[in-house]
Amino acid sequence: MKGAARLFGLVLSLALAGLSPTLAAARAPHAAASQRALAAGAVASPDIYGARAAQAVLRQGGNAVDAAIATAFTLAVTYPEAGNLGGGGFMTVYMDGKPYFLDYRETAPAAATAGMYLNAAGDADPNLSIVGNLAAGVPGTVRGLAEAHARFGKLSWKQDMAPAIALARDGFMVTPQLTGILKGASPSVGKGTNFDAWAAGMKAGQRFRQPQLAETLQRIADQGPDGFYKGVTADRIVAQMARGPIKGLITHADLEAYKAVWREPIVGDWHGFTLITAPPPSSGGIALLQMLRMKADREDLFRGQALNSAQYIHLVAEIEKRVFADRAVYLGDPDFVKVPVAALTDPAYIAGRARQIDSAKPSPTEGVAPGLEKPQTTHFSVVDRWGNAVSNTYTLNGWFGAGVVVEGAGFLLNDEMDDFSAKPGTPNMYGVVGGTANAIAPGKRPLSSMTPTILLKDGRVAMVIGTPGGSRIFTSVFQVLANAYDFRLPLKAAVGAPRYHHQLLPPNTIFAEPYGPYSPALAQGLKARGYVLQNQDYNGDIEAIEVMGRTPVVAPDPRARGAGLVVR
Ligand code: GLY
């Protein structure tokens, strides 16, 4: 394939020149402002309210970051299962021709300890890290959005927050899809929490008003991040920690100390695109780059394989196996552990891993050692008419986080502490295993899979993409990119195609969604190769924008209640 040949050339030249992916991208051609400009702005959001908020702000002359802030605050009102004030996330930004990455991931409270979720027998108790006060990390969203605004915002903070405040005060229409998710989540997040009392106000087809949340948002609009991390809101978060059967750890000092961090994004070349994506504490960017490059390296095996045939799914699973083995051992918060980013993204290393792929059958799980020597979240994508872009994934972790609503403040707290390795070697709620690099420590950020990604072509935005899905995040982004650029599917079809997933453990297991065609022949083909098939709920909620020429094309995922708008 032409793209793969181009990649091989680039990989070879990078290897010869000894360049890291980041340095290589810094040398990528820079497009002038007039070349970057688009015919319109656009947004792909997990719901229509988030999309309309971005539209309103873009029409007032705001840029992609203003629109992203408006969407993020709005989703905290209308998409309560994952949109949030009480969680955290990552924002990948392309602004005035330069890449940026903002880490506003939650942190472990100062009183957290490595063994805090172990029971008397020394086993990790997942109930404690998933539901209730003790599951919550120190929220990062408000600080992160304020940082993004201070650096790049064109409109005022109040203008960016106005759509969210109006929706909290006046209400939004609840969909049956949302009440379905509420019903499904209640037996878990409702256990010993105030979740069910809060959720009772949401009825399909009726307006849901959140006056306490409107007041919290108004405090943030008036006082900036101090309206959340200090004063009344902070008092209410801390008071909440003492309520219910399980006490929490977040203190005033934790809230005041919370900082969002600008980090160097992972930047790499693939198929003639420059990929800008998430660095640690996300595993997502490294994993995505490894997957894309391993596939390109093994073009000899992939050539002629139909999309989502048994052999194609097997080959992708072979790649995933190796990526998850690395993830489990090397990845963690770079402020606490040394993450070998350059080694893990080194083309020669990735090529060596790709050579180990067994084209006939699954490689034995135990034999896939890490290679170096010694759903629920939500995403939105925005572009503006100046050719800037924001790819933002943020999360409460599980749907509705810890199920804890901060009384008097009207928002949910995350259960992000479950993304740490409570006991190295024990799977978290996504079934992925972590190592000591991701052990709990005060102030540390848990390892994430969130992969907000921007692709550039010759310095101009070509695609903005991301999704929720826990450990399925980067395998989903990988599949859509392969569908769009290797199989040349139009973006909507690339997003809509069924997705499959493997993650090293459970051994040789392929997860399939109920969505889309799943033929007996495919099941038979996978079983014949030695795989166990496991069904799961839908896989991700990709919100993508592709720029064709100068015109953005939006592709909200048909799996959920996403909405895309082109804004002229
Ligand atoms: N909580 C999901 C993630 O950070 O990947």
Strand-pairing partners, residue 266, are 277
35 token code pair: 């070349």
If you measure from the C-alpha of residue 300 to the centroid of ligand 1, how many angstroms do you get, rounded to a whole number?
Answer: 34
Question: Exposed e or buried b for every residue in 374-389, given b needs 16+ CB within 10 A?
Answer: ebbbbbbbbbbbbbbb
- Across the range 438-446, mean pLDDT stands at 96
Helix axes 157-170, 141-152, angle to 10 degrees: 140
Who wins on pLDDT, 342 or 367? 342
Whole-angstrom Cα distance, residue 559 to residue 539? 8
CATH code at 72-502? 3.60.20.40
Ligand 1, residues 81, 288, 377: which to mutate, most atoms within 8 A of Cβ? 377
Residues with CB under 6 A from ligand 1: 377, 395, 397, 419, 448-450, 470, 473
If you measure from the C-alpha of residue 161 to the centroid of ligand 1, how many angstroms do you get, rounded to a whole number?
Answer: 25
- Say whether 7 sits in a helix, a strand or coil: helix
Q: Whose CA is nearest to atom 1 of ligand 1?
A: 397
Residue ranges covered by each domain of the chain: 72-502
Whole-angstrom Cα distance, residue 478 to residue 468? 13
Whole-angstrom Cα distance, residue 68 to residue 41? 12
- Say whether 434 sits in a helix, a strand or coil: coil
406 token code pair: 């901060």
| pLDDT tens digits, 529-555 | 999 999 888 889 999 999 999 999 999
Q: Helices (DSSP H) in 258-407: which residue ranges?
A: 284-297, 299-302, 310-330, 341-344, 347-355
Residue 16 has pLDDT above 60, yes or no: no
Peptide linkage before 347 cis (omega within 30 of 0): no
Helix axes 2-17, 347-355, angle to 10 degrees: 130
**pTM, rounded to two decimals:** 0.93
Q: Whose CA is nearest to atom 2 of ligand 1?
A: 470
DSSP 8-state code for residue 414: P
Residue 398 CA: nearest ligand 1 atom is: 1
If you measure from the C-alpha of residue 10 to the centroid of ligand 1, how many angstroms do you get, rounded to a whole number?
Answer: 31
How much is the pLDDT for 134? 98
If you measure from the C-alpha of residue 377 to the centroid of ligand 1, how many angstroms do you get, rounded to a whole number?
Answer: 7
Spatial CB neighbours of 111, under 8 Å, sequence gap ≥ 6: 249, 251, 442
152 token code pair: 């790049």
Ligand 1, residues 286, 396, 448: which to mutate, most atoms within 8 A of Cβ? 448
Residue 105 CA: nearest ligand 1 atom is: 4
Residue 450 CA: nearest ligand 1 atom is: 5
If you measure from the C-alpha of residue 450 to the centroid of ligand 1, how many angstroms do you get, rounded to a whole number?
Answer: 6
Task: List residues with catalytic annotation.
Answer: 377
Strand-pairing partners, residue 448, are 282
The angle subtended at Cα 454 by Cα 447 and Cα 153, nearest 5°, is 90
Who wins on pLDDT, 416 or 1? 416
Q: Are 564 and 555 in contact (CB under 8 A)?
A: yes
98 token code pair: 């330069």
Helix axes 211-223, 64-78, angle to 10 degrees: 150
Residue 418 CA: nearest ligand 1 atom is: 1
470 token code pair: 């826990």
Mean pLDDT of the chain: 92
Question: Exposed e or buried b for every residue in 295-314, given b needs 16+ CB within 10 A?
Answer: bbbbbebbeeeebbebbbbb
Total H helices, total E strands in the chain: 22, 18
Chain position carrying tokens 């083995």? 325
Strand-pairing partners, residue 464, are 454, 545
Q: In Å, what is the CA distance from 133 to each residue of 16, 229, 276?
A: 52, 17, 35
| Burial (Cβ within 10 Å: 0-12, 13-18, ≥19) of residue 235 | middle
Whole-angstrom Cα distance, residue 410 to residue 413? 10
Residue 535: φ, ψ to 5°: -85, 150
Residue 488 has pLDDT above 70, yes or no: yes
| pLDDT tens digits, 265-324 | 999 999 999 999 999 999 999 999 999 999 999 999 999 999 999 999 999 999 999 999
Q: Are 439 and 333 in contact (CB under 8 A)?
A: no
| Burial (Cβ within 10 Å: 0-12, 13-18, ≥19) of residue 63 | buried
| pLDDT tens digits, 117-173 | 999 988 888 889 999 999 999 999 999 999 999 999 999 999 999 999 999 999 999
